[in-house]
């Protein structure tokens, strides 16, 4: 699969200041990462915690914050990591899951999906029936 790029809005928590940019969707990234200069322009507050991550350049500790992310008609406040080493927004799976979006590997585009919710009180046969209904078997 190639690279999936999307137009996104990144904003402060109140949605008063939103900046539009192209972002790379990375299904191998857990959290969304934004460049430090973008975080500073938006006035995003750091929560005082650093998150240890593994990147292509090795281990790093990135500052944790929260931002409003817009993709299409969907808007969510999501945790973001702030990096002084990247120059573009990288959308991770936590943001995608919160927006009920996934990458279609054939079209290489984002698509909506219906979230699944299972409790530990379901019997395996009930889960199988739900699975079959969801995927129209």
Q: How would you write 86-111 as a 3-class SS string? A: CCCEEECHHHHHHCCEEEECCCCEEE
Structure tokens, 110: 């984002």
Percent share of the chain, pLDDT over 90: 72
| pLDDT grade for 130, boundaries at 50, 70 and 90 | low
List the one residue out of 21, 35, 27 whose CA is nearest residue 3. 27
Helices (H), the chain: 36-42, 93-98, 124-134
Write the pLDDT tens digit of every residue in 1-35: 567 999 999 999 988 999 999 999 999 999 999 99
What's the pLDDT at 137? 46
Neighbours of 107 (CB within 10 A): 9
Span 24-51, mean pLDDT? 96
């Amino acid at each position: 699969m190639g690279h999936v790029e999307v137009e996104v809005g990144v904003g402060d928590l109140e949605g008063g200041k939103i900046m539009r940019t192209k972002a790379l969707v990375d299904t191998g990234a857990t959290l969304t990462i934004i460049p430090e200069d973008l975080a500073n322009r938006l006035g995003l507050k750091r929560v005082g915690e650093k998150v240890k991550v593994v990147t292509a350049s090795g281990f790093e500790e990135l500052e944790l914050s929260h931002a409003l992310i817009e993709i299409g008609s969907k808007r969510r406040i999501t945790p973001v990591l702030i990096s002084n080493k990247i120059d573009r927004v990288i959308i991770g799976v936590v943001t995608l899951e919160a927006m009920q979006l996934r990458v279609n590997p054939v079209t290489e585009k984002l698509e909506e999906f219906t979230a699944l919710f299972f409790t530990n009180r379901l019997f395996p046969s009930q889960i199988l029936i739900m699975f079959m209904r969801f995927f129209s078997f």
